[in-house]
Chains A and B, each alone.
Chain A
Amino acid sequence: MTDMPRPIPNMDDLDTAGFFKAAAEHKLTIRTCTQCGASYSLPREYCRECGAFAMEWKEVSGKATLHAYTVVTHPVHPAFPVPYTAVLVDLVDVPGARMVGNIPGEHHLEVGQAMEVWFEHVEDGIVLPQWKVAE
């Protein structure tokens, strides 16, 4: 277990890599249809709402509210020492869009409380939009 490297996102996937490339520039983006404005937390090229293949990476604000959280206490990976608090957030700008993140340590939070993005440098070229309690 001690030799396991931290999992990093695939940076070559044709549908999803753009999210992490934007994150490397400290931009939080969401795949959005240029024809009808529908957005997809899990990026893909086809818009099921309007039938277009016309997506763009739309930059959104880093404001969110807490949807749920869990304090992970059972260790399964050395890159994630316990305890840490995994959070699920709803983006304020984009109704229905949701993302996950983690906060080191044990924290007891309130559903609905304000959260904000920050950018974690994992290694060269790998940056994750992460979430913390809004200041």
Chain B
Amino acid sequence: MSRWDHRDACAIAGIGHTDFSKNSGRSDLTLATQAALAAIADAGLVPADIDGIVRSDYDHVSHNALADAIGADNLTYWGQSGPGGIAPSSIIGQAIGAIVSGQATTVLAFRELNGRSGARFGLGGSDKFVVGGNASYDEFFNPFGLLTPAQMFGLMQQRHMSQYGTTREDLAAIAIACRNRANANPNAQMYERPLDLETYMDARMISWPLCLFDCCLETDGAAAVIITTTERARDLAQPPAVIRASAHASGPNIQPGQMFPALLRDSIIELPGRHVAKLLYERAGLGANDIDVAQIYDCFTITALMEFEDYQLCERGEGGRWASSGAIELGGELPINTAGGHMSEGYIHGMNHVLEGVRQIRGTSTSQVEGAEVCLVTSSPPPASSAFLLVADR
């Protein structure tokens, strides 16, 4: 076997999601069940066809709880693939591994969270009293007032602005591009809520220079996809979104813990995505110039900006100026986050990005990029990154 064996071997055959809201009023299990059933039906399958389930470390719903709930009685494979935002693309990679190695034929991948009405990432772990220990290393951060993701990305944003001359207007371009796409997507949380530069610039600061509109939403919802062989997908209900290649990579100095230790890497304004990109493009036999549309993980605008550079969509240090040039808008060089992204569609930890990638390949996006044949989907930090490339079945 070689590192290219999985090229084009598998495809996403079904997608499903719940509504994205601030208060679902349903359990995590109900959300996961609804998204899973929708994805299975979209593929033209029934729950008994599912023999594998892969999820994020952060899902409250276990593989067995979901299998039991939907009646997937023939599981031969299950796994989980990293915390929150890193997970979705590496989940896809894990599903491919299971299928190509013969351990499963039809894998359900999902992410579920009541991210607004339940546990909110924006509040950090601040309800704990004694923090750290057991290689979490939280004791080196939380007692010093570093409590939330916004504070960490505020540090990264400040450093990028200082080092490369990136401006708030540059970051606004990312938030506004996502909002523009959300305003065409009726399922987006920010549907029919336009955002302009003046509103962005006047927004309250969360962790200067990071403002309210640099932050993603907090969302209750779930999303799920079905992965199977490309050959089998051709016989199912939807045109296959073929997974050209998949990669997850840490690079050196992965750092322990969940989040803040990433501040101790050599550079805090480059993410492990740069290692993923190299591997992904090599595996795919494609490069950044071949990509027609991209779904870029955007927990914060600065996260997306760093990934523009990591995935070689522009030169290192130029991410801000590239974004504000119009490149990422519909009709631009590389439209991004065409359903609205985490900024404005919903924050399903990157799994909604996977679904939108599939829609672009099917030609069914609410902001369809005409003739899109190659879509990059990324999942991001900390403490590692993953991504994959979807292509049309040719």
Contacts and interface: CB of A to CB of B under 8 A. Distances in A.
A134 interface: no
B132 A76 contact: no
Interface residues of B, number: 50
Contacts of A100: 140-141, 144, 146, 260, 263
B333 to A, nearest CB: 30
Contacts, number: 134
A16 B137 contact: yes
Contact of B151 (A44, A86, A98, A106): A86
Nearest to A97: B264
B266 A96 contact: yes
Given A10-B139, A76-B126, A111-B162, A71 B144 contact: no
Contacts of B268: 67-68, 88
A60 to B, nearest CB: 15
Given A4-B127, A10-B131, A16-B133, A86 B145 contact: yes
B148 interface: yes
A110 B204 CA distance: 23
A111 B159 contact: yes
B264 A77 contact: no
Among B135, B141, B143, B154, max chain A CB count under 10 A is at B143
Interface string B255-290: 111001101101010000000000000000000000
Interface in B151-204: 151, 154-159, 162-163, 204
Given A74-B207, A76-B126, A98 B263 contact: yes
A80 interface: yes
B145 A98 contact: no
Contact of A86 (B131, B146, B159): B146
Contacts of B140: 9, 16, 19, 41-42, 99-100
Given A70-B158, A76-B123, A84 B145 contact: yes
Contacts of A7: 126, 128-131, 142-143, 147
A61 interface: no
A72 B151 contact: yes
Q: Does more than half of chain B's interface fall in helix, strand or loop, or is it mixed?
A: mixed
Interface in A1-32: 4-10, 12-13, 15-16, 19-20
Contacts of A72: 145, 151, 154, 206-208
A8 B123 contact: no
Contacts of B255: 42
Given A76-B123, A102-B144, A130-B144, A70 B130 contact: no
A104 B255 CA distance: 28
Given A80-B145, A98-B263, A122-B143, A73 B129 contact: no
B133 A76 contact: no
Given A9-B132, A16-B132, A77 B147 contact: yes
Nearest to A102: B145
Interface string A63-85: 00001111111101100100010
A73 B134 CA distance: 31
Contacts of B256: 42
Contacts of B150: 74
Contact of A9 (B131, B210, B261, B266): B131
Nearest to B257: A42
Interface of B: 122-124, 126-135, 137, 139-148, 150-151, 154-159, 162-163, 204-210, 255-257, 260-261, 263-264, 266, 268
Given A74-B207, A88-B263, A130-B144, 11 more contacts: A7-B147, A12-B133, A15-B135, A41-B140, A42-B257, A68-B158, A70-B158, A70-B209, A72-B208, A96-B266, A100-B141
Interface of A: 4-10, 12-13, 15-16, 19-20, 41-42, 44, 67-74, 76-77, 80, 84, 86, 88, 96, 98-102, 106, 111, 122, 128, 130
